[in-house]
Structure 1
Amino acid sequence: MFEQHTARRRGFLKTLAGTGLATLGGGALAQAIPFTPNARYPDPAVQILDPSFAKYRIYSSSVEQVATGLRWAEGPAYFPEGGYLLFSDIPNNRIMKFDEKTGTTTVFRNNVNYTNGNARDRQGRLLSCEHSVTRRVVRTEKNGKLSVLADSFEGKKLNAPNDIVVKSDDSIWFTDPLFGINGEWEGFKAQREQANTNVFRIGPDGRLTAVITDLVNPNGLAFSPDEKKLYVVEWKGSPNRSIWSYDVGADGVSLSNKTKLIDAADQGALDGFKVDRDGNLWCGWGSNGALDAEPTDAGGRKVYQLKGRSEDLDGVMVFSPQGKPLAFIRLPERCANLAFGGPKNNRLYMASCHSVYALYVEAHGAV
């Protein structure tokens, strides 16, 4: 039995090496997830919930696994100049790099203060939300040096910068929940200093302002293609996780008309998301971890089961600009965040727990 197990593992690692997935190295390979793409076209993992989504599905495209061996993949950002994707592996405290040309995944940078969200600014520089320890937003300059863009507000340290987006006027918007200082998994437990969990804006002049102050642990955020609306995930919505929509004022700063656009009523764990050129929202999805009120029998034990089964929820939900469900992309792992990339900006990268998956679609990222 041991010899069979060893042979199977050697075969799996050999397969990973052939695809470039074994380049992560070290103990992280313990989290490598075997994956077999669907053999049939169209891919049954792409489930159409509304006929209007059919134009976005490519008949002969299927979900692919492009990286594995991670502990918690997050914050993907695509860089068209180099044809690569950067993303965070938060518990391993590193930023990873997937190279489209070679198909390999390597460590881009270690000891990144548990970076969560990443983004590319309009000058092609990397913006990162250091989620713990330093608790700041930084920019990687062309020479590789880091510039600190924000680390405190009104004289008090930020909570745990999470997700980040850049507007066409070069302003930078980011969320500041508590996840990076709530425990020891995504950083180090620390005392909060901010009274609220805000959404912040860094102006082109470097001035930091709190633009939303009444959300409980805001998470993912994105603008509509015309930037007239800002969408923000609230982790602790009422009663479920939600995406709120705000009208952006003519000044490009002020927000009004707070409206609930999406309610994850099926126990979905809304996290990060991206918007395509048609205004559709492509949302990371999975179980929110809520438990049933009463235990059930499982092998003679009374167990509190999840309200929503992970195997039914893990993947990506796509919604129209009006919040109507259009499609579900089923994945073997919960998807935390996404990015559009590829030479034509039509390859959807999905950062999902231990792996990153990709799917070509007939949609293009708005930015």
Structure 2
Amino acid sequence: MNDQAGDVRFEVLDERFEALFAPHIQVERLWTGARWCEGPAWFAAGRYLIWSDIPNDRMMRWDETDGSVSVFRAPANNANGNTVDWQGRLVTCEHLTRRVTRTEHDGSITVLAETFDGKRLNSPNDVIVRSDGSIWFTDPFYGIITDYEGLVQQRELEGCHVYRIDPLTGRIRQMTDDFVQPNGLAFSADEKTLFIADTGATHLRDGPKHIRRFNLGDDGRLYGGDVFATSTCGIHDGIRLDRDGRVWASAFDGVHCYDPDGTLIGKIRIPEIVGNLTFGGRRRNRLFICGTSSIYSVFVFTSGLAMG
């Protein structure tokens, strides 16, 4: 499938957004048939996109060379977030097994994280890899509170945090302690700033639905944590940055684009709740968007950063 999506448009809220697209550019729906699309990851070497269909317990694959869609893995342990590391390997957050895994080049699975301080993780949600090889992931409890996107299980950890896996020792380090539901995360181009979404509003009245911004110190700790942007429609789940420092965030009405100064400059309206997104294509100027049941794409006049 490759058709123009209905009820889709660019909504300009600030003239800075107009420089990012041309009037004739259309949003394309590449495929539909999921229950909840999440975790898109772009594999440049193979020219394909991987994403998760969490309730259907499968991971899907779209091939840019011919537009075909196939099942990449099933069952998939109710996989959610995915990314690509600097060796071209798939890194995945799994709800059902409450772990972070890596798929090796030979197809074997390596478990990277499943416990912290002797207690099982909640349900790892989203993941990114820094250029030093460290793996950063969020751990809200969405995968263990219903049987729809995982399995109802007992929580063992006190809260929901962001963790870092050391690339040399494999040691897992807790990096935050004041999130309700940490979700999407992304580094700036120089990797000195980390943006993290908090989607606590899903289960807490008047809870957070914003993106926070942290500085990564020379000591490896996170500092700051000011609110960079608050969603005007639902929550901000997945987030990505482009080469110019703009933040692109999923929302209930599509994709929101923020200037580096935090101004909401525009939206890409999608007729489904958007859970996540990533940049891909030959020049990384193609934005892939995970709607509830469908995968969309659109070319923009910028390019995304490095992995995923």
Q: Is the 8 A contact 1:93 1:111 kept in 2?
A: yes
Q: Identify the range of structure 1 (193-202 vs 44-53) with the bigger mean alpha-carbon deviation.
A: 44-53
Q: Secondary structure at the match of 2:292?
A: strand
What is the aligned counterpart of 2:213 among 245, 252, 256? Answer: 245
Task: Please give the residue correspondences for 1:292-311 in structure 2 after superposition, counting only pairs within 5 Å.
Answer: none
Identity %: 44
Is residue 2:221 matched to residue 1:254?
A: yes
2:87 to 84, 106, 123: 123
Shift of 1:240: 3.9
Q: How does 1:1-367 map to 2 (within 5 A)?
A: 16=1, 36-37=4-5, 45-132=9-96, 134-205=97-168, 206-236=170-200, 239-251=207-219, 253-264=220-231, 266-286=232-252, 314-367=253-306
TM-score (norm 2): 0.95
Displacement of 1:37:
3.7
Aligned partners of 1:86 and 1:95 also within 8 Å: yes
For residues 2-33 of structure 1, the C-alpha deviation after alignment (integer angstroms, 9 at most, x for no partner) is xxxxxxxxxxxxxx5xx5xxxxxxxxxxxxxx
Over 3 Å counting, the alpha-carbon distance change for 1:240 and 1:176 in structure 2 is closer
Distance 1:281 1:326 in 2: 10
Q: Give the structure with the larger strand fraction.
A: 2
Instruction: Give the counterpart letter for 2:240 in structure 1.
Output: K
Structure with bigger gyration radius:
1
For the Cα contact (< 8 Å) 2:289–2:296, is it kept in 1?
Answer: yes
Structure 2 residues not aligned, in runs of 5+? none
User: Where in structure 1 do 4 or more consecutive aligned residues deviate above 3 Å?
Assistant: 35-38, 237-240
How many Å apart are 1:48 and its aligned residue? 1.3
Question: What is the deviation of 1:111?
Answer: 1.2
CA distance in 2, matches of 1:65, 1:228: 35
**Secondary structure of the corresponding residue to residue 243 of structure 1:** strand
Residues 205-238 of structure 1: per-residue CA shift (max 9 Å, x gap): 2111000121011000111111111111111165
1:171 Cα deviation from its structure 2 partner? 0.5
Report the TM-score when normalising by structure 1.
Answer: 0.80
Shift in Å, 1:239? 4.6
**CA distance in structure 2 between the partners assigned to 1:345 and 1:100 by the alignment:** 13
Letter in structure 2 aligned against 1:54: E
Aligned mates of 2:290, 2:189 — CA distance in 1: 22
- Computed over aligned residues only, the root mean square deviation of the Cα atoms, in angstroms, reads 1.4
The amino acid of 1:175's aligned partner reads T
Unpaired segments of 5 or more residues in structure 1?
A: 1-15, 20-34, 287-313
Give me the whole-angstrom Cα distance separating, in 2, the residues matched to 1:230 and 1:359. 25
**In 2: Cα distance, 1:53 partner to 1:36 partner:** 21
* Structure 2 residue aligned with 1:299: none
Cα distance change of structure 1 residues 185 and 239 upon mapping to structure 2, 3 Å threshold = closer
Residue identity in the other structure for 2:70: T
Q: Is the 8 A contact 1:58 1:360 kept in 2?
A: no
What number of residue pairs does the alignment pair up? Answer: 301
Alpha-carbon distance in 1 for matches of 2:79, 2:172 = 20
Q: Which letter does structure 1 place at the counterpart of 2:183?
A: N
**2:114–2:121 CA contact under 8 A, matched in 1:** yes
